[in-house]
């Protein structure tokens, strides 16, 4: 009998867009399987190789590696229209999507009306809108937990259209109540059913059995998170969050694994912070420095193209995320963006109602909070061409050592550019 395989996890520790796609792709050669466990096409994961950039939304980031199995788990929500578009462009870029993609029969489907409800709900919220990606994520998870969702396996049932029609009717009543114009529905439904027919030709599996069979046969699995810990529905900056559990706990329910199957958790963070959409962001910069980070870091959404809000690294939130996911190893991204900044600021505590705290409050929203900063010596050298840890500038190395001490967790990988090769192992 072959030795049993294991599951490692790689996930984002901030407000998303930490660089999960780049790192999952970089790590894939050490694994046989890459599996997504939550989220959906709200994610935009960028991969860059040989000077070409690819953006993945629902397909796992192992897809560009030959012989890697890519599994979309039960915890993911799937929009057939967007997934087919993504499959087409990824296949056109040279990936063997037909041969390498496996999809859970239990993954919930994003219906056309889920997208309309997402837009209607945001419209209703006015100034308090979440800044949703409008991909239908929230309404789809709401139906899943309301026990009225429709799953990919249902696409193969003879009564699939009747099932969809029943849910759609209920959604239309809600849209009517909101006074939302849904005249686009017929066109959306047409593209939905066309995409469903094409998607059905891909491989659908009982993903929990599938993944356990892979483990039993010794396969190494990388679970790839979407979004980030501060967008987790339980622990993020609620209600300005997404609708799934983005922390390592989400791996178990999103793939049908037990906690004991997880060998190690790798947490990814940017050397600063970004956030796209609404909601609290304690270390946000509204000045020239924020603009500099946005321009130098090309901080514009991979999915929606929206400019990302930028700010200093927040160690209070980062320590919280490390704690929640039991992070064993850290991966630091976009250090190159901070080159040339004299003093690199880092929030090490919050002042909440006049008192110093090292904890994230239960409610960021409405809490009178000021970050307390520490300044660290910056570095002027360009990090982008560096490929070895020994060749990193001294101030930068000192900064890493200080962060490791603060976070009580080793920083094992440093990314100094978007390309696969711009990655340094420590
Ligand atoms: P994800 O959602 O976590 O996969 O991250 P995104 O792809 O949405 O955003 C990360 C952005 O930063 C992408 O445009 C990447 O190409 C880019 N990127 C990743 N790592 C680095 C890095 O170390 N330095 C720089 N300058 N860009 C990076
Ligand atoms: P990746 O995987 C950054 C944000 C949205 C919005 C909130 C809720 O690329 O890191 P939703 O559409 O999920 O209902 O939106 O969450 N958001 C993300 N921000 N990166 C993401 O994914 C995100 N997915 C959702 O901007 O504020
Ligand atoms: Mg992204």
- Is the Cβ atom of 48 under 6 angstroms away from ligand 1? yes
Distance of CA 62 to the CA centre of its chain: 15
Assigned domain for 416 exists:
yes
Q: Give the tokens for residue 219.
A: 């396969």
- Inter-axis angle of helices 185-199 and 112-125, to 10 degrees? 130
Query: What integer pLDDT is reported at residue 107 of this predicted model?
Result: 99
- Is the Cβ atom of 13 under 6 angstroms away from ligand 2? no
Burial of 220 (0-12, 13-18, 19+ CB in 10 A): middle
Distance of CA 169 to the CA centre of its chain: 32
Confidence check: pLDDT of 151 > 60: yes
Calpha distance 263→309 (Å, rounded): 34
What is the pLDDT averaged over residues 303-332? Answer: 96
- Is the Cβ atom of 36 under 6 angstroms away from ligand 1? no
For the segment 199-257, what is each residue's pLDDT rounded down to a tens digit?
A: 999 999 999 999 999 999 999 999 999 999 999 999 999 999 999 999 999 999 999 99
Assigned domain for 369 exists:
yes
The residue from 146, 180, 199 where one domain ends is: 199
Nearest C-alpha to atom 19 of ligand 1 is from which residue? Answer: 418
Q: How many A from CA of 17 to the centre of ligand 3? A: 4
Query: What integer pLDDT is reported at residue 305 of this predicted model?
Result: 87
What is the pLDDT averaged over residues 12-17? Answer: 98
Identify the band that residue 333 occupies on the pLDDT scale cut at 50, 70 and 90.
very high
Confidence check: pLDDT of 158 > 90: yes
Q: How many domains does the chain have?
A: 3
- Atom of ligand 1 at shortest distance to CA of 24? 4
The residue from 216, 239, 266 where one domain ends is: 266
Query: What integer pLDDT is reported at residue 301 of this predicted model?
Result: 87
Shared-domain flag, residues 280 and 376: yes
Q: How many A from CA of 12 to the centre of ligand 3? A: 10
Shared-domain flag, residues 281 and 233: no
Shared-domain flag, residues 252 and 366: no
Nearest C-alpha to atom 19 of ligand 2 is from which residue? Answer: 16
Catalytic residues: 17, 45
What is the pLDDT averaged over residues 180-209? Answer: 98
Tokens 């997934």 locate to 83
What is the pLDDT averaged over residues 172-178? Answer: 97
CATH code: domain of residue 140: 1.10.300.10
Q: How many A from CA of 42 to the centre of ligand 2? A: 6
Confidence check: pLDDT of 355 > 80: yes
- Is the Cβ atom of 416 under 6 angstroms away from ligand 1? yes
CATH code: domain of residue 290: 3.90.170.10
Instruction: Label each residue of the chain as H, E or C.
Output: CCCCCEEEEEEECCCCCCCHHHHHHHHHHHCCEEEECCCCCCCCEEEEECCEEEEECCCCCCCCCCCCEEEECCCCEECHHHHHHHHHHHHHCCCCHHHHEEEECCCEECCHHHHHHHHHHHHHHHHHCCCCCCCCHHHHHHHHHCCCCCEHHHHHCCCHHHHHHHHHHHHHHHHHHHCCCCCCHHHHHHHHHHHHHHHCCCEEECHHHHHHHHHHCCCEEEEECCCCHHHCCCCCCCCCCCCCCCCCHHHHHHHCCCHHHEEEEEEEEECCEEECCCCCCCCECCCHHHHHHHHHCCCECCCCCCECEEECEEHHHHHHHHHHHCCCEEEEECHHHHCCCCEEEEEEEEEECCEEECCCCCCCCCCCEEEEEEEEECCCCCCCCCCCHHHCCHHHHHHHHHHHHHHCCCEEEEECCCECCCEEEC
Shared-domain flag, residues 287 and 385: yes
- Is the Cβ atom of 168 under 6 angstroms away from ligand 2? no
Taking the CB of residue 386, how many other CB atoms lie within 10 A of it?
20
pLDDT exceeding 90 applies to what percent of the chain?
Answer: 97
Query: What integer pLDDT is reported at residue 120 of this predicted model?
Result: 97
- Is the Cβ atom of 246 under 6 angstroms away from ligand 1? no
Q: Give the tokens for residue 138.
A: 């929230």
Shared-domain flag, residues 171 and 316: no
The residue from 199, 223, 249 where one domain ends is: 199
Q: How many A from CA of 425 to the centre of ligand 3? A: 23
Identify the band that residue 304 occupies on the pLDDT scale cut at 50, 70 and 90.
confident
Shared-domain flag, residues 157 and 291: no
Query: What integer pLDDT is reported at residue 321 of this predicted model?
Result: 98
Shared-domain flag, residues 210 and 175: no
Q: What is the mean pLDDT of the chain?
A: 97
Shared-domain flag, residues 286 and 386: yes
What residues make up the domain containing 344? 269-425
Shared-domain flag, residues 294 and 255: no
Checking DSSP bridges between strand 423-425 and strand 6-12, what pairing results, if any? unpaired
Confidence check: pLDDT of 1 > 80: no
Testing ligand 2's pocket by substitution, the residue of 125, 231, 254 carrying the most ligand atoms inside 8 A of its CB is 231
Calpha distance 379→397 (Å, rounded): 10
For the segment 383-410, what is each residue's pLDDT rounded down to a tens digit?
A: 999 999 999 999 999 999 999 999 999 9
Assigned domain for 392 exists:
yes
Assigned domain for 1 exists:
no
* Ligand in closest contact with the CA of 19: 1
Q: Give the tokens for residue 356.
A: 């110093």
Query: What integer pLDDT is reported at residue 302 of this predicted model?
Result: 80
* Ligand in closest contact with the CA of 228: 2
Assigned domain for 321 exists:
yes
Global pTM exceeds 0.95? yes
CATH code: domain of residue 241: 3.40.440.10
What is the pLDDT averaged over residues 47-57? Answer: 96
Nearest C-alpha to atom 15 of ligand 2 is from which residue? Answer: 132
Shared-domain flag, residues 414 and 292: yes
- Is the Cβ atom of 227 under 6 angstroms away from ligand 2? yes
Nearest C-alpha to atom 20 of ligand 1 is from which residue? Answer: 418
Q: How many A from CA of 306 to the centre of ligand 3? A: 11
């Amino acid at each position: 009998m072959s030795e049993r395989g294991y599951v490692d996890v790689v996930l984002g520790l901030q407000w998303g867009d930490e660089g999960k796609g780049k790192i999952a792709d970089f790590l894939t050669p050490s694994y046989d399987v890459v599996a997504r466990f939550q989220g959906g096409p709200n994610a935009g994961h960028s991969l860059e190789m040989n000077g070409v950039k690819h953006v993945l939304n629902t397909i796992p980031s192992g897809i560009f590696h030959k012989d890697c199995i890519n599994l979309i788990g039960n915890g993911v929500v799937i929009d057939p229209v967007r997934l087919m578009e993504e499959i087409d462009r990824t296949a056109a870029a040279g990936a063997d999507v037909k041969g390498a993609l496996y999809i859970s029969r239990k993954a919930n489907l994003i219906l056309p009306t889920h997208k309309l409800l997402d837009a209607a709900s945001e419209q209703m919220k006015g100034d308090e809108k979440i800044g949703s990606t409008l991909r239908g994520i929230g309404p789809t998870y709401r139906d899943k937990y309301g026990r009225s969702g429709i799953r990919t396996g249902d696409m193969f049932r003879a009564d699939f259209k009747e099932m969809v029609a029943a849910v759609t009717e209920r959604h239309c009543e809600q849209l009517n109540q909101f006074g939302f114009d849904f005249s686009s529905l017929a066109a959306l439904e047409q593209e939905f059913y066309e995409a469903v027919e094409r998607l059905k030709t891909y491989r659908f599996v009982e993903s929990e059995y599938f993944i356990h069979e892979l483990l039993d046969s010794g396969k190494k699995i990388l679970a790839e998170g979407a979004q980030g810990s501060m967008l987790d529905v339980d622990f993020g900056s609620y209600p300005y969050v997404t609708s799934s559990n983005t922390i390592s706990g989400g791996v178990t329910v999103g793939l049908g694994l037990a906690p004991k199957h997880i060998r190690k958790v790798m947490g990814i963070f940017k050397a600063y912070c970004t956030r796209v959409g609404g909601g609290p962001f304690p270390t946000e910069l509204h000045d020239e420095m924020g603009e500099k980070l946005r321009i130098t870091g090309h901080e514009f959404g991979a999915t929606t193209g929206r400019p990302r809000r930028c700010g200093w690294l927040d160690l209070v939130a980062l320590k919280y995320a490390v704690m929640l996911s039991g992070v064993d190893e850290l991966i630091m991204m976009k250090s190159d963006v901070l080159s040339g900044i004299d003093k690199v600021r880092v929030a090490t505590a919050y002042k909440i109602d006049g008192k110093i705290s090292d904890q994230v409050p239960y409610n960021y929203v409405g809490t009178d909070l000021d970050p307390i900063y520490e300044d660290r010596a910056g570095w002027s050298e360009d990090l982008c061409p560096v490929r070895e840890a020994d060749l990193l500038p001294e101030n930068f190395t000192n900064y890493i050592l200080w962060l490791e001490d603060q976070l009580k967790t080793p920083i094992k990988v440093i990314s100094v550019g978007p390309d696969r090769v711009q990655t340094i192992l420590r």
